[in-house]
Amino acid sequence: MYASFFEWWFHKYLFHTPKLIRRTFNSHTLTHHQIYKGDHTYYLAEGKEPEHVAMDWWALILFLGVHFPIIWTVEKLTHTHSLWGGLAAIAVYYGVYEYFHWCMHVPNQRPFEKWGVYRFIREHHRIHHVHMQKNLNVILPLADLVLGTYKRDTKREAPTVPTTRRTPTRTSRSQAHRRGPAAAPGKNKPGKNTGDK
Question: What is the pLDDT at residue 155?
Answer: 66
For 121-137, letters b (16+ CB in 10 Å) and e give bbbbbbbbbbebebbbb
The string of pLDDT tens digits covering residues 128-138 is 999 999 999 99
Check if the beta carbon of residue 86 is closer than 8 Å to that of residue 3: no
Return the pLDDT at 77.
96
What's the pLDDT score for residue 182? 38
Task: Return the pLDDT at 117.
Answer: 95
Question: Amino acid letter at 27?
Answer: S
Query: Is residue 114 classed exposed, middle or buried when 0-12, 13-18 and 19+ CB atoms within 10 A define those classes?
Result: exposed
Among the listed residues 44, 52, 47, the one whose alpha carbon sits nearest the alpha carbon of residue 15: 52
- Under 8 Å between Cβ of 124 and 6: no
Enumerate residue ranges in the chain where pLDDT < 50: 170-197
